[in-house]
Structure 1
C-alpha cells in the first residue's frame, strides 16, 4: 500500500463528519485523469469505504446536470444517517436500469468530473483534485475508451471546458494528487484547508 495513501486515509478518518455522520470525500479532475483508479485505491486504504461514481448519475443529455439527483438521492438520506439509494444510468441503453444502495459509512468517496462543484462543496469533508493537465487527461481517456467513443469525446471535451469555466473545482481543492514514479504524491491544494 502506498504510504501517502495510508497517511491520507488516516487524515480523512480524523476529519469531522460533513454530511450527517458521513465524511464525504470528493475526487475530482479532468476526464481520464485517473479519478476512478485513485478512488478505488483510497477506498481500500480506508478499509473498504463505499465509492459513488458520478458516471452512474450523469446521462447523455445531462453530462453535468446531475446535481439535483445527487442531492435528493444521496446527500439528503446520508445527512439523516440513512442509506442512500440512487439510480444507475446505462450508457448503452440510455436509461436508468437499476438502483444501488450506499450506506452512511464513516467515509464515503465520490468520484467524477465536477464532484467539487459549488453545490457539493459545503457537504464535503475533503476535496481532492487529480493534478494532470486536461490535454493529457483527455488523451488518456480517449485511449482507454477507443475509437468507438470518438464522437462522445468530441462532445465531452467542450462540455467539460464549459463546466469548469462556469464552476471550477481545482481552486477549492484541499489536496492535489499527482501520480509519481513510485506511487501517488499528495500535496496541499489551493484552498490550503488541510
Structure 2
C-alpha cells in the first residue's frame, strides 16, 4: 500500500515558483541569463535558487552565487550586495570574468577567490541582492517573502543558535534595504511562501 501523501505547502510553493522562473528564463532567449533572487531571511531564497539551478532550462550549466558566502559578517548585508553587484554582476554584463571572495565566518576574514564565467548563466541570491542597480543587470528578478514566524523558524532550524542572537540585527538591515530600494517593486516575480 502506498504511503499517504504528506502535504508540503512550502515545497509545493517553491515548485510552482521554480516553474515560473524557468519560464521567465526561457522567455529571455539569452545564452547567459542572469537571475537575481532577493527576499527576507528564511523565506526560501536559497532553496528556490537551488531548485532553479537544478531545473535550469539551458544546455549550458548555470553558476550560483549565494550572498551568504560573500557578506562580510553579520552587519554586512549592504556590503555583500555591493560586492556581488560590482565584482560579479557588472563584469558579467560586460562579458568579463567576475571574481568574488568567500567570507570565512569563523575567521571573520576573506578566504579563497572564485571566478564567474560571463558566457554562462548566473543566479545571485540573498538578502539585499535586488536594488535598482542590480535589477538593471538582471534578466529575471524575484522577490521571496513569507510570514515572519515561519521565516524565523526555518532560518533558525537551518542556521541554529549561531543566527538566533543576530536575528534582530539582520532583520533591521533587511528593513533598511527594503525601505531604501523597494526590492519587491523591482521584482518581475513575487513569491510568497507559507
TM range (shorter): 0.7 to 0.9
Instruction: Give the one of 46, 58, 65 matched to 2:79.
Output: 65
Per-residue deviation, 1:15: 0.6
* 1:37 is the counterpart of 2:37: no
Q: Distance in 1 between matches of 2:16 and 2:43?
A: 21
1:49 corresponds to 2:59: no
Change (3 A) 1:103 1:39: same
C-alpha distance in structure 2 between counterparts of 1:121 and 1:161, whole Å? 19
**Structure 1: distance between partners of 2:121 and 2:26:** 7
Could you tell me the TM-score, scaled by structure 1's length?
Answer: 0.79
Cα distance in 2, alignment partners of residues 96 and 128 from structure 1: 28
Q: Secondary structure at the match of 1:119?
A: helix
Confirm or deny that 1:88 pairs with 2:102. Answer: yes
Q: CA deviation at 1:137?
A: 1.5
- SS of residue in 2 equivalent to 1:159: helix
Once the two structures are overlaid, the 10-residue window that deviates more, 109-118 or 74-83, is: 74-83
Aligned Cα root-mean-square deviation (Å): 2.5
Give the TM-score normalised by the residue count of structure 2: 0.79
Per the alignment, do residues 139 and 161 of structure 1 end up closer, same or farther by CA in structure 2, a change over 3 Å counting? farther
CA distance, structure 2, for counterparts of residue 81 and residue 28 of structure 1 = 23
Q: Which runs of 4+ in 1 moved over 4 A?
A: none
- Write the distance in 2 (CA, Å) between the matches of 1:148 and 1:56: 15
Q: What residue number does 1:170 align with?
A: 184
2 CA distance for matches of 1:4 and 1:133?
Answer: 17
In terms of fraction of residues, the more helix-rich structure is: 2
SS in 2 for 1:46: coil
Which ranges in structure 1 are unaligned for 5 or more consecutive residues? 181-194
Judge conservation of contact 2:43–2:144 (CA < 8 Å) in 1.
yes
Which sits farther off after the overlay, 6-15 or 26-35? 6-15
Q: Partner residue of 1:188?
A: none
Please name the residue that 2:24 is paired with.
11
Residues 30 and 138, structure 1, Cα contact 8 Å, conserved in 2: no
Does the residue aligned with 2:96 lie in a helix, a strand or coil? Answer: coil
In structure 2, list runs of 5 or more residues that go unmatched.
1-14
The answer for the alignment partner of 1:158 in structure 2 is: 172
Matched residues in 2 for 1:158 and 1:7: separation? 30
Cα distance in 2 for residues equivalent to 1:79 and 1:155? 33
